[in-house]
Structure 1
């Protein structure tokens, strides 16, 4: 189990970074919104804590996606004026405030998850337009090791503390913006604020698939074997991701 925690998420982060170098920050953002880290954490929670625990964590993760988008919005507006360190601090502060405001939704977790899905179209409109004169470019390979290390550490922390945290907080923290913060800050430093804003705004498209994954997993765990539930959720997420990316290309 420890080997799974240490290797699975870093390998997935490596694949997303390779895609970013080939297709650019917008596509990288959409892929980063896909349930890579969170899906891995929920799988490990299922193996360690059982399906009932993970069902609740999956719904909390869907709500946590809204907090993740608040991070991206706050970071992007800050990026219009500052370099990445204060932007990262303001983004994390926005995420923390959104998480702090979410416990009131715990009484109706399914409703909260659907409200998070409804927030997505609005979230996409809350990002600033990227500055036209900013430099563009792909993230450099030097950022690979920090990304992979951050992903592995998050999985270790969340899964190790899950019994103390409970399913709701485990699910919310599983959506901590590791990919958004690491990829966003590195892209900001190496390619400028415009590329960082495009990447973070692109993550909104990925969160449609993310929330679809969480809802499908919460609905199917306990009704199906765990492996079948995860396969169903991932298949639905992949279909939603393909549909959203296709629609995005044909609108421009």
Structure 2
């Protein structure tokens, strides 16, 4: 289990950073929204806490996707004026406020998850337009710190989530690990325009993310955990391919 926590996220950060160099920050953002980190955390919770706990956490994660997007919106607006050391805490503050608001609303799990899905089409209009300045390609230097930062964040999150109950665990599982690490390093190496395009691109990835969470929550009620995760992951892949195909054919 520890090996999974230490290796999975750094490997994903390396792959997404390579995608950013090849296809640009928008495509990298869409890939970053795919539920690899949260899916891994939910798998760990299933093994350690049981399917019912993981089912409730999955629904909370679907709602928490909106909070992750709020991080990107807050960071992006801050990036128009400031460098990353100030943008990062402002983004985290936006995420925290969204989590507090979702807890205060006290909606039943399934309606709350659907609210997270309904927020995605609106979210794209809440990001600022990237500055019309040329951005450099992300530099190769700094890859190791990105990977290390991702691993540390996941270790912290998974160690805390088991003590907070399924609802807060699900919300914490959607803490913007990739958005934080990739956003900061993209901002520092390629400028605010590239960071905004990456964070806005993540909204497309969250359609697959929420599809995964909803499918997993439903499947865990009727299927064994292995089958439930396979079904949810398959649906997420199909949704991700469809969203990326639609995005490519709109331009």
For Structure 1 versus Structure 2, the TM-score category normalised by the shorter chain is over 0.9
Residue of structure 1 in register with 2:60 after alignment: 60
Q: Is the counterpart of residue 195 in structure 1 residue 204 in structure 2? A: no
State the 1:251 CA deviation: 1.1
Q: Is the counterpart of residue 102 in structure 1 residue 140 in structure 2? A: no
Residue of structure 1 in register with 2:88 after alignment: 88
CA contact (8 A) 1:59 1:218 kept: yes
Q: Deviations over 1:91-118 (max 9, x none)?
A: 1111111111111344401101101100
For residues 181 and 163 of structure 1, the distance between their equivalents in structure 2, rounded to whole angstroms, comes to: 22
Does 151-160 or 212-221 show the bigger shift? 151-160
Residue of structure 1 in register with 2:228 after alignment: 229
State the 1:24 CA deviation: 1.1
CA contact (8 A) 1:147 1:179 kept: no
Q: Is the counterpart of residue 131 in structure 1 residue 138 in structure 2? A: no
Gaps of 5+ in 2: none
- Scaled by the length of structure 1, what TM-score is found? 0.95
Q: Give the secondary-structure state (helix, strand or coil) at the position aligned to 2:162.
A: helix
Does 239-248 or 142-151 show the bigger shift? 142-151
CA contact (8 A) 2:45 2:162 kept: no
Residue of structure 1 in register with 2:112 after alignment: 112
- Scaled by the length of structure 2, what TM-score is found? 0.95
Residue of structure 2 in register with 1:40 after alignment: 40
State the 1:146 CA deviation: 2.5
How well do the aligned residues superpose, as a CA RMSD in angstroms? 1.4
State the 1:225 CA deviation: 1.3
CA contact (8 A) 2:154 2:177 kept: no
Q: Deviations over 1:119-156 (max 9, x none)?
A: 001000111111112x3233223332233223322332
